[in-house]
Amino acid sequence: MARPGLFVTFEGMDGSGKTTQLARLAGRLRQAGREVLETAEPGGTRIGQQIRDILLDERNRDLAPRAELLLYFACRAQNVEEWILPALARGAVVLSDRFTDSTMVYQGYGRGLGAAAVETLHEIACQGLQPDLTLFLDIDLDTSLARARRRNAEAARRDRMDEQAAEFYRRVRDAYLDLARRHPGRVRIIRGGQPEDAVAADIWEVVRAHV
Ligand code: TYD
Q: Per-residue pLDDT tens for 183-205? A: 999 999 999 999 999 999 999 99
| Residue partners of 181: CB distance under 8 A and separation at least 6 | none
CA of 19 to the centre of ligand 1 (A): 11
CA of 52 to the centre of ligand 1 (A): 9
- For the chain, which ranges sit under pLDDT 70? 1-2, 152, 154-164
Q: For atom 7 of ligand 1, which residue has the closest CA?
A: 14
How does 15-36 read in b/e, with b if 16+ C-beta sit within 10 Å? bbbbeebbebbbebbeeeeeeb
| Residue partners of 12: CB distance under 8 A and separation at least 6 | 18, 136, 137, 138, 139, 176, 192
CA of 33 to the centre of ligand 1 (A): 30
Q: Per-residue pLDDT tens for 95-106? A: 999 999 999 999
In sequence order, the β-bridge partners of residue 137 are 12, 190
Closest alpha carbon to 207 in 193, 188, 183: 188
Q: For atom 20 of ligand 1, which residue has the closest CA?
A: 103
How does 153-191 read in b/e, with b if 16+ C-beta sit within 10 Å? eeeeeeeeebebeeeebebbbebbeebbeeeeeebbbbe
Amino acid, res. 64: A
What is the predicted pLDDT for the residue at 144?
82
- Lining ligand 1 with CB less than 6 A are 14, 19, 41-42, 72, 98, 102-103, 106-107, 161
Q: What are the DSSP E strand ranges found in the chain? A: 6-12, 36-40, 93-97, 133-138, 187-191
CA of 175 to the centre of ligand 1 (A): 15
| Global confidence as pTM | 0.93
For residues 161 and 14, the answer to whether their CB atoms sit within 8 Å is yes
